[in-house]
Structure 1
Amino acid sequence: MAMVITFAEPLTSLVFRRIIRELEPTTFAKGLTNRQPMQMLSVNLNPTAPQVQQTVANGMQFQKLSVVRVNEDAVANKAVEELIVDPNQIVYRNMNYSRWDNISGLYWDMNAEAITSVLDNVPIRAIRLEYLDRFLFDGDPDQASAKGVIKQGSEVVTPHIFHLNDLWHSHTGKLEKTDGENRRLFQVNIDMIDMVGPDSIPKRSIALVSAVEDRFAGGGLEGGTVSSLRATFDDLHKQVKELFKSVVDDGMLAAVGLEND
């Protein structure tokens, strides 16, 4: 699960440093004790610009690590939760997703002060909520099928995948107008891939990315508050859950407890 806030213009170095100071105690209190600086490459694809512009920005990564088995003979530290901040965006990822109310409460406890500083200084270009779900197949990979996992007849799924027993992908999306020229993106990316687990045996799996993103036109969203952004994320959560239910087979929804949710 990922929550992304993209800024309409970069933070100044002074504001960026203040936000990092504000995040240090709150991330530590929530268990994100591993901290390391990062260099982020930003690419400007504005079609009105004379050429593609690339800039390098300094960022900071806060992580919660957990020991996981990578194969039969070795274990390693793996990030189970992380917050990445750079002058252009704040990205939060949680790899041990439980319930939305729990995740949302943790997120705002950790980030409310820093996001207030962002909103006081720059407008917002986009707000995005994204989920990654994996469905693993047992047995012969050549027998793995989208049937029984992905809903046949869904308008956001390409139909040819139901006739394939090899690797494939289906990437679709649409933009809907919301207020004025603002738009909401609905995105569904589905890939049949081979993964190697701790037992070193490849397993065929379906990776499903469901995302909903609000994009703000012109100079971006100004005058936002923590409460308004929280309400937006709550709405995106409802929308992305409905999007997931429109993609996943009814039998699989029942298996994960979403058929009557």
Structure 2
Amino acid sequence: MTQTEPVAGGDADSAGGTSWTGRTVRGRDGSKLGRLVEVLPGDGASPGGWGVVKSTFGGRRMVPLDGAAADGDRGLTVAADRASVRTAPTLAAGTAEPAATGALQQHYTGRGVLADARALQHERYGGSKLGSAFFGWLVAVGLTVLLGVLAGAVAAAIGADPTTGTVVTVAVLIVAYYAGGYVAGRLARFDGARNGFLSWVVGVVATIVLTVVAAFVGAQYDVLTRVSLPALPASFADVTVTGMILVAVAVLGTLLAAVLGGKAGESFHRRVDRAAADAL
């Protein structure tokens, strides 16, 4: 890991800030913010000074240098994340002076508080949530049944061939597990992809358990056969190359759909967090 040299405090020039000009600036979340093109002296809002960061596309934003640290010979890490910098008040046209350092300080302080609060929430309530995954799987099962009935009726009405029916089955499962992953990610709030994946794992485990139970107690108790879906190949004798490909697509497709659904469910909470930050 590259060693960093923290700023001792005080004016940016005396802390070595002027020599930082031209360095690549990264946020405390590790994201690349741009290149430091100018260092301004400290003031009441930021005693450590202000840095003018120019992004790849030419945009210029002010970042506080309080708590900044040199990262090797060409890098600089500041105590702000990408979201904070991207939404910071812009500079007045044709000048490097901040439009209002008080507004900038309020912006960064508020964003920092929210980021710290979210980190604490994630530490306490993040991770895998079996309850969220279970309810996500229930939604996937319910949607599979609902869409399966509709798909079966349409397939029977148009006289679809077995291959078409299998493709429809795969599509139904993918849509259902995307919705299940979304519910899991939405309920868990954090780590949406992980909880979407966990909802898929719950589905796989439940399917295996129900299949084993049906094998021991009788086919009449196999609840999986009650779902009105066009059938997948039921035995090795029925398996074709196309069938094997479709089964693989079903397994991988539902897995990917559940993960993406989980991320989509989590993104709802990120939008809520951004709305709170924008209100500051």
Q: TM class, shorter-chain normalised?
A: under 0.3
Higher strand share: 1
Name the structure, 1 or 2, with higher relative contact order (CA <8 Å, separation 6+).
1
Name the TM-score, length of structure 2 as normaliser.
Answer: 0.23
Name the TM-score, length of structure 1 as normaliser.
Answer: 0.24
Higher helix share: 2
